[in-house]
Amino acid sequence: MKRDLDRPGGSATLGGDAASSAVSWPRRPIARQPGQPPHDSALGHVQGSARYIDDLPLREGELRIALVGAPCARGRVTRLDLDAVRAAPGVVGVYTAADLPGANLWGPIFHDEPVLAEEVVAYLGQPLAVVAADDERDARAAAALARVEVEEEEPVLTIEQAVAAGEFIGPQRQIARGDLEAGWERARQRIEGRFESKGQEQFYLESQAALVVPEEGGSLLVYSSTQNPTEIQKVVADALGWRQSQVVCEVLRMGGAFGGKETQAALPAVFAALVAFHTHRPVRVVYGKDEDMLLTGKRHEFHTDYRIGFDERGRIVAAELDVRSNGGAYADLSTAVLERCMLHLDNAYHLPAVRIGARVCRTNLPPNTAFRGFGGPQGMAVIESCMEEIAARLRLDPLDVRRVNLYPADEASDAALTPYGQRVRGNLLPEIFDRLEQSSDYRLRRREISQHNARTDAWGEPPCVLRGLSLVPVKFGISFTNKTLNQANALVNVYTDGSVQVSTGATEMGQGVNTKLAMIVAQEFGIDHRRVVVRPTSTEKNNNTSPTAASASTDLNGAAAVKACAAIRERLAELASGLLAGSTDGLAPAPEQVGFEGGAVFDRRAPERRIDFAELCRRAHVERIDLGARSFYATPGIDFDRETGRGCPFAYYTTGACVAEVRVDRLLGTLELERLDVLMDIGKPIHLAIEMGQIVGGLVQGIGWVTGEELVYDGRGELLTTSPTTYKIPAASDLPRDLRVEILDNDLNRHNVRSTKAVGEPPLMLAIAVWTAVRDALGAAVALGARPGDLRIPATHEEIARTLSGCSVEEWIAAS
């Protein structure tokens, strides 16, 4: 790890820089900084002792369940014969919608999705019945005996089909700003077209899972692999007709989630709870991987029709964008995902006159849901594609077109206003852009690549291997766009031995939030992080929690924990000031002069006067001073009016940029990543190694979305890509040969806890630079008929080959 102190706060680098030879990623592990603990689950993961739902001990009388699903994607159920299922060996019970004592409709925004379908089915495999047995094999074998007859209807599977059929979810949305008519008059040139990005599977390693245990007094304890314990609590209670106080949801950790367990963990938990309610026995459900991929929602597919006007320098003066997303059969979070897409169609660029219209399409696929970025990637990709097209039209370097459109550093400028009226404050993007251009040797590499692609062989054709280069910025808003969710509470208990227990609503899914919370609390009391334990998330200790999502969990829960620590510290300081005061030298008690550091408490006026933190805690207990505190935090200064499309939905923006260099084999359509240079402003990192891991992990996941991961459905609505053999997630061999990651370490985001910035989602969008670099490479084959403007996301080998051929999608399908 290298520190560069040429700017306030310095920077941290992984890999190399322009002045030194690069070190490839696998050979340069991220070193933890002094005083930083390892990830709290690191040892357990390495030893295989970290527990997940399926690792929890078998409970006495425990049942397993399987589902009876719809045999088609759309139709009316005419027969559901479960007699053979009930008579099958090992079966304890079979349950349908009629057995739900409470509500059969649920949803995080609209209550439109059945827990168990009754008369109508809306996607293939939609659950109709739950089979409970002593053994999972018996349950699955019995479920296969169900006789389901459906009067089939033609399914609506695509955005085009949904638009033609008038199938939509929620109202038409619009955001508009500026004088479009005047903008079009100023425009020297225009481009228009359609941009398409497909969905993506979250591919978490631990499938959807829950264990439900009946407890005394008519209550249930739900162990769930979920990002949203409070929603599990509420949906289970609603389905059973209970009060929320009768259900406790606990989360130790998840084996990955990426948004896929924000809402979609609810149904497995309800299925298990339904059986537990009727049998009074513990019930466990763990989806198989194929089952999980078939039944759960993905990242949304988006189509955006655009019309862009620009001047001779490529500066955008007018923009009209019409957005459609594939929401699947029910609403889930689709309208919220659509909204965040709309709020990120500008990405890092000032659009002085813009109109954005958007709507969610209803189709007969499993309801699509949250995925890292939550609509932001789909929005940003549109404007980045437009930047490439503008540059090609004007024969300019795309970097120069992007630079002239960037939001300025001057936050008072009219050009610092987003389409929805929020000012971009503390904007380091111009600096990031210029620094990365220099550190990556962009101009030199651009000349070399242009010369390489301009070469011709004896037949006058360009090289077989084309090279591409692109620099793409990212500006991602941090906060839930639903204002209500921007809140958190924390419970902090200090014990008489000086150790501390912390409980918050944040859930651990590998991102290291518990480790960072422990560090924050330890710093507040000036003690070693090993004295702090972060407990499993439970609705019993932390009520009405928000989901661990929107990259805001450390911000929200960390701020709540700081407030709780401050309350306890104030009481301890009052006691310590009296203990540390001296009658002989006239040092009067002064609580405001008490400091906490190095495991001791001292008076800043006489630092040699100290008392051990644990001893002070013992004294406080003797003096009957409260050593516990519960606190609440709500993000200030945010608001957004959906009716007008105006407001300040975000507390701040996390920004960064990526330079990507790729090689494309124009004969095979194959792609290789040559080099990636990343520079991000993430404020003051709490745990540098964890933040770096998030940057690299998000970047690689984004590379999967823009290159190899393609969801393929047949005409019945069945997903055909249900395993790594057919669904290509990134492998180690897909990483770039040269990966360089640098952060701008600064304390400019001072209103946030520890002056940090969120880093969970923004890095994923840096991967758009890989896609634009592929498009850049394909531009060298235009003379051979290539149509780089037609390239879609993901740029799979087949998609690259299609674009090189000049065929439309329809022509390509017909030819194959």
Peptide bond into 71 cis (omega under 30): no
Residue 309 domain boundaries: 156-198+300-405
pLDDT digits (tens, 9 = 90+) for 327-345: 999 999 999 999 999 999 9
Residue 376 has pLDDT above 50, yes or no: yes
Q: Is residue 724 one of the residues assigned to a domain? A: no
Q: Which 3 state secondary structure label does DSSP give 810?
A: helix
Residue 497 has pLDDT above 60, yes or no: yes
Residue 119 has pLDDT above 80, yes or no: yes
Per-residue confidence (pLDDT) for residue 31, from 0 to 100: 54
Percentage of residues in the chain having pLDDT higher than 70: 95
Per-residue confidence (pLDDT) for residue 366, from 0 to 100: 99
Tell me the C-alpha distance between 572 and 596, whole Å.
10
Tokens of 726: 């057919």
Whether residues 605 and 547 share a domain: the answer is yes
Q: Are 293 and 719 in contact (CB under 8 A)?
A: yes
CATH number assigned to the domain comprising residue 258: 3.90.1170.50
Per-residue confidence (pLDDT) for residue 402, from 0 to 100: 99
Output 36 or 253, whichever has higher pLDDT: 253
pLDDT digits (tens, 9 = 90+) for 290-334: 999 999 999 999 999 999 999 999 999 999 999 999 999 999 999
What HEC string does 172-190 produce? EEEEEECCHHHHHHHCCEE
CATH number assigned to the domain comprising residue 362: 3.30.365.10
Domain boundary among 634, 657, 680: 634
Domain boundary among 568, 600, 634: 634
Rounded average pLDDT over 747-769: 97
Dihedral sign for Cα atoms in the order 108, 382, 677, 801: positive
Q: Is residue 132 one of the residues assigned to a domain? A: yes
Tell me the C-alpha distance between 569 and 564, whole Å.
9
Rounded average pLDDT over 585-597: 87
Per-residue confidence (pLDDT) for residue 815, from 0 to 100: 76
Enter the pTM of the model. 0.95
Tell me the C-alpha distance between 428 and 425, whole Å.
9
Percent of the chain that is helix, strand, coil (3-state, to 5): 35, 25, 40
Residue 633 has pLDDT above 60, yes or no: yes
Instruction: Find where tokens 């102190």 sit.
Output: 5
Across all residues in the chain, what is the average pLDDT? 94
Q: Is residue 246 one of the residues assigned to a domain? A: yes
Rounded average pLDDT over 440-456: 96
Whether residues 76 and 179 share a domain: the answer is no
Tokens of 447: 């000349």
pLDDT digits (tens, 9 = 90+) for 648-661: 999 999 999 999 99
Whether residues 494 and 586 share a domain: the answer is yes
Per-residue confidence (pLDDT) for residue 2, from 0 to 100: 34
pLDDT digits (tens, 9 = 90+) for 69-97: 999 999 999 999 999 999 999 999 999 99
Whether residues 194 and 87 share a domain: the answer is no
pLDDT tier at 8, thresholds 50, 70, 90: very low
pLDDT digits (tens, 9 = 90+) for 390-425: 999 999 999 999 999 999 999 999 999 999 999 999
Residue 486 has pLDDT above 70, yes or no: yes
Q: What's the one-letter identity of residue 763?
A: P
Dihedral sign for Cα atoms in the order 747, 759, 681, 417: negative
Whether residues 228 and 279 share a domain: the answer is yes
Tell me the C-alpha distance between 164 and 156, whole Å.
10
Q: Is residue 759 one of the residues assigned to a domain? A: no
Per-residue confidence (pLDDT) for residue 5, from 0 to 100: 29
Per-residue confidence (pLDDT) for residue 132, from 0 to 100: 99
**Other CB atoms within 10 Å distance of the CB of residue 216:** 5
Instruction: Find where tokens 């999967």 sit.
Output: 704
Pairing of strands 354-362, 465-478: unpaired
Rounded average pLDDT over 480-507: 98
Whether residues 286 and 353 share a domain: the answer is no
Residue 44 has pLDDT above 60, yes or no: yes
The sheet with strand 594-597 has its strands ordered as 594-597, 600-603, 606-612
Give the range among 2-16, 607-621, 705-719 with minimum mean pLDDT.
2-16
Q: Is residue 714 one of the residues assigned to a domain? A: no
| H-assigned helices in 623-731 | 688-703
Tell me the C-alpha distance between 173 and 323, whole Å.
9
Tokens of 758: 């969120």
Q: Is residue 765 one of the residues assigned to a domain? A: no
pLDDT digits (tens, 9 = 90+) for 15-29: 543 333 333 333 344
Whether residues 250 and 176 share a domain: the answer is no
Rounded average pLDDT over 37-52: 92
Whether residues 119 and 245 share a domain: the answer is yes
Per-residue confidence (pLDDT) for residue 763, from 0 to 100: 98
Domain boundary among 388, 405, 422: 405
**Contact residues for 749 (Cβ-Cβ < 8 A; gap 6+):** 426, 652, 683, 684, 755, 756, 757
Residues taking part in catalysis: 761
Per-residue confidence (pLDDT) for residue 184, from 0 to 100: 98
**Other CB atoms within 10 Å distance of the CB of residue 731:** 11
Whether residues 537 and 394 share a domain: the answer is no
Q: CA angle, corner 279, sides to 276 and 282, nearest 5?
A: 45
pLDDT digits (tens, 9 = 90+) for 551-576: 999 999 999 999 999 999 999 999 99
Whether residues 393 and 345 share a domain: the answer is yes
- State the total domains in the chain: 3
Q: Is residue 354 one of the residues assigned to a domain? A: yes
Buried b or exposed e, range 60-72, using 16+ CB within 10 angstroms: eebbbbbbbbbbb
Per-residue confidence (pLDDT) for residue 460, from 0 to 100: 77
Output 276 or 22, whichever has higher pLDDT: 276
Q: Are 561 and 521 in contact (CB under 8 A)?
A: yes
Whether residues 254 and 150 share a domain: the answer is yes
Tokens of 183: 């903008």
Q: Is residue 277 one of the residues assigned to a domain? A: yes
Residue 248 has pLDDT above 60, yes or no: yes
Whether residues 86 and 164 share a domain: the answer is no
